[in-house]
Amino acid sequence: MNGPQSKGKYPLVALQAVLSYLQSSARHCPSVRLPCRLLQFLHIDNSDNCRRQDAKTRMVTEHGGTIGSLSDECCMGYPNRPITLIVPYGAGGVTDVITRSLAQAMSLHLKQPIVIENKPGAGASMGVLDMKTAKPDGYRLTLTPAGIFRQPYIQKVNYDPVNDLSFISAFMEYDFILAVPPKSPFQTVSDLVAHSKKEGGSIDYGSAGRYSGNHVTMALLEQRTGAQFIHVPYKGDAEATNALLAEHNKSAVFGNTVLPYLTSGKLRALAIASPHRAEAFPNVPTFKEQGYDIVVPSPLGFAGPRGLTTDVIRKLEEAVQVALKDKNFQQTAANYGIRTQYLDNKAYTALAHRVFSDEKAIIASIGLE
């Protein structure tokens, strides 16, 4: 065999293999950003990406940057490093536990870890405030509890809950349950209301904090009935639960974290602020069933900074959908009686705008301003 001819053959085979790989990657992985001239050489129509590449190239060069670093980030695809997800509550609560379980399932799908960062305080708005300075690259995200839409109507805030965020997906909804100690003389909501009217200032209730959904539930009951209750805000459901178990308060409003205490008989529920009885609490009547028009919706999802790209949002949406079907996550949700509810970017964005508008009327009607 002629030596020089055999040596010339293998580089050609290797080049063909590389070209075949590049063609496959460009066609089946849209996140891969190949140079436009190479795409044209490979006979691949990717004109939209080419226009975006040209715009990015002009932007980077005009600002004195280098094209290489931008191209490297794009070609690696999203995500190519760990993602941080802010939970604006303390560690160990039901929101923290559920979110960690969801994040674990999402990580398996995205093949990158999602790191939970707890930032409690400021009415659960620390995550939204963080998003104002975060890069819109999908590597720093936050939970978006319903309270962030309420705070701007109660006090001055340094964020806009609809315009400072890119809403990604909603994945669950809370329930709010009015409960009492097992030996309490109050068997119904009417009993509680009647006693309060008879002896003003005699009924107190614990909550997870001022202006929380728990607080709003009882404020609505006051507004609907003319009764007056004494609000005792705590730093979360855990503190409020311990206080009611020790009978420091006569009642309290909890989120889903109260489920095991109801199941064990350590506490007794009077009503749930949902449109219908929840599957996890089948024996707990709604406020509506008892004649009180009180429904407090509390969807929970997550978002990123304003300006997230469609590609990043779609990948995260897909990861949430997959995670909601994960058996470990479903078991965790069941342990706390959590109602899962998936909303994509479009539906969640519309819901966020609607909730923000609705909160204004709610706050005005119950006098929390």
Q: Tens digit of pLDDT for each residue in 329-348?
A: 999 999 888 889 999 999 99
Sign of CA dihedral 89, 95, 98, 103: negative
Token digits of residue 241 = 């639960």
User: Bridge-partner residues for 251, per DSSP?
Assistant: 205
- Cα distance between residue 299 and residue 175, in whole Å: 9
pLDDT tens track for 104-136: 999 999 999 999 999 988 878 999 999 999 999
Lowest mean per-residue pLDDT among 63-72, 79-88, 182-191, 219-228: 63-72
**Does 315 score more than 90 pLDDT?**
yes
Q: For residue 143, how far is the Cα from the chain centroid?
A: 4
Give the pLDDT confidence of 146-172 residue by residue, as tens digits.
889 998 998 899 999 999 999 999 999
Q: Helix or strand or coil: residue 143?
A: strand
Decide which of 62 and 79 is more confident: 79
pLDDT at 38: 53
In degrees rounded to 5, what are phi and psi of residue 158?
A: -105, 35
**Minimum mean pLDDT range among 49-53, 146-150, 360-364:** 49-53
CA distance 26 to 53: 14
Give the DSSP H or E segment for 117.
Answer: strand 114-118
For residue 16, give Cα distances in angstroms to 42, 98, 108, 309, 355.
Answer: 11, 49, 34, 34, 56
pLDDT > 70 in the chain, percent: 79
Residues 52-56, mean pLDDT to the nearest whole number: 49
What pLDDT score does 23 carry? 52
Greater pLDDT, 278 or 63: 278
Name which residue leads in pLDDT, 351 or 22.
Answer: 351
Nearest residue to 345 via CA among 309, 317, 315: 317
Handedness of CA 292, 94, 187, 280 (dihedral sign): positive
DSSP tally for the chain: helices H, then strands E: 14, 11
Nearest CA among 33, 70, 66, 30 for reference residue 50:
33
Residue 280 structure tokens: 């996890």
Tens digit of pLDDT for each residue in 184-217? 999 999 999 999 999 888 899 999 888 888 999 9
pLDDT at position 85 over 70: yes
- Classified as helix, coil or strand, 18 is helix
pLDDT in tens, 27-46: 444 444 555 555 455 454 45
| pTM, to two decimals | 0.72
